């Protein structure tokens, strides 16, 4: 992956793997979300405790309605953030143009 991921990005990856597959085991989540076993265990505990994932039989993990809501809201957040960054980059370019128009003192 290259870059460090935020907590929200890691949770989104875990939930996406579980959501794309039904009754997923830890090994599959670990490989598809690019996590070590230690990190997977920690984050999997977090999403279970928060009610976004369930594990009825102790082996297979399932996405709950709260997990589905998280993924939907994460996608909305990501789109909003992308738009803000695009607008900020445009504003910075405009500022640079204005700076170039001003003579140095």
Structural domains in the chain, sorted by start = 7-101 (1.10.10.10)
41-80: string of b/e by CB count within 10 Å (b at 16+)?
A: eebbeebeeeebbbbeeeeebbbbeebeebbeebeeeeee
Q: Report the pLDDT value the prediction gives residue 105, as an integer from 0 to 100.
A: 64
Q: Report the pLDDT value the prediction gives residue 21, as an integer from 0 to 100.
A: 80
Mean pLDDT by 10 residues, the chain (105 residues): 82 94 90 95 96 91 96 96 92 91 81
Q: Report the pLDDT value the prediction gives residue 1, as an integer from 0 to 100.
A: 44
pTM: 0.81
Which DSSP category does 45 fall into? H
């Amino acid at each position: 992956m290259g870059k460090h991921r935020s907590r929200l990005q890691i949770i989104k990856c875990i939930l996406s793997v579980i959501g794309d597959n039904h009754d997923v085991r830890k090994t599959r989540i670990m490989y598809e979300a690019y996590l070590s076993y230690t990190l997977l265990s920690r984050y999997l505990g977090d999403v279970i405790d928060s009610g976004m994932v369930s594990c009825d039989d102790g082996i297979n993990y399932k996405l709950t309605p709260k997990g589905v809501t998280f993924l939907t809201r994460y996608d909305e957040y990501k789109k909003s953030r992308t738009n803000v960054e695009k607008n900020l980059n445009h504003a910075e370019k405009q500022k640079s143009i204005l700076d170039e128009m001003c003579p140095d003192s």
